[in-house]
């Protein structure tokens, strides 16, 4: 009799697992991507001006904050001055490999300052454009 109970229990468990798997598989197509989603081969129909104008204030804040950090003195983490001081300390200590690494990072950080300054100027002209064109809503 115990053999019948075991096999009946196994059958019930198997049916339960099968029912659960079937319900999960049935739910997957309902969660598929929306029909209006762009395909990989589609091309943009506009330039995204409205979205650019909408994000402009936050973008300007991020660029300004990054420039303030980079242009800070040696006490500001992430500043060019702090990295220069670290490179000088490595040179004084005779750590030539560390000095080389820090100087390479310093070159990249100085280039970043230039890039962000250019971006800041670009954002000023974009802000002027957005103001004149109804925040990019018009065509």
3-state secondary structure the chain: CHHHHHHHHHHHHHHHHHHHHHHHHHHCHHHCCCCCCCCCCCCCCCCCHHHHHHHHHHHHHHHHHHHHHHCCCCCCCCCHHHHHHHHHHHHHHCCHHHHHHHHHHHHHHHHHHHHHHHHHHHHHHHHHHHHHCHHHCCC
**pTM above threshold 0.75:** no
Which pLDDT does position 41 carry in this prediction? 73
How do the pLDDT tens digits run along the chain, 139 residues long? Answer: 555 555 666 776 666 665 655 555 555 555 555 555 656 778 878 888 999 999 999 999 999 999 999 999 999 999 999 999 999 999 999 999 999 999 999 999 999 999 999 999 999 999 999 999 888 876 5
Domain ranges in the chain are: 49-136
């Amino acid at each position: 009799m115990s053999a019948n109970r075991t096999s009946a229990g196994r059958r019930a468990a198997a049916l339960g697992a099968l029912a659960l798997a079937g319900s999960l598989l049935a739910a997957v197509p309902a969660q598929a991507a929306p029909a209006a989603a762009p395909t990989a081969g589609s091309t943009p129909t506009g330039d995204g001006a409205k979205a650019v104008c909408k994000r402009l204030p936050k973008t300007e804040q991020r660029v300004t904050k990054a420039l303030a950090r980079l242009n800070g003195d040696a006490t500001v983490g992430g500043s060019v001055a702090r990295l220069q001081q670290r490179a000088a300390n490595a040179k004084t200590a005779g750590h030539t490999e560390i000095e080389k690494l820090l100087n390479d990072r310093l070159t990249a950080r100085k280039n970043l300052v230039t890039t962000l300054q250019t971006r800041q100027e670009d954002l000023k002209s974009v802000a002027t454009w957005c103001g004149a064109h109804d925040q990019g809503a018009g065509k």
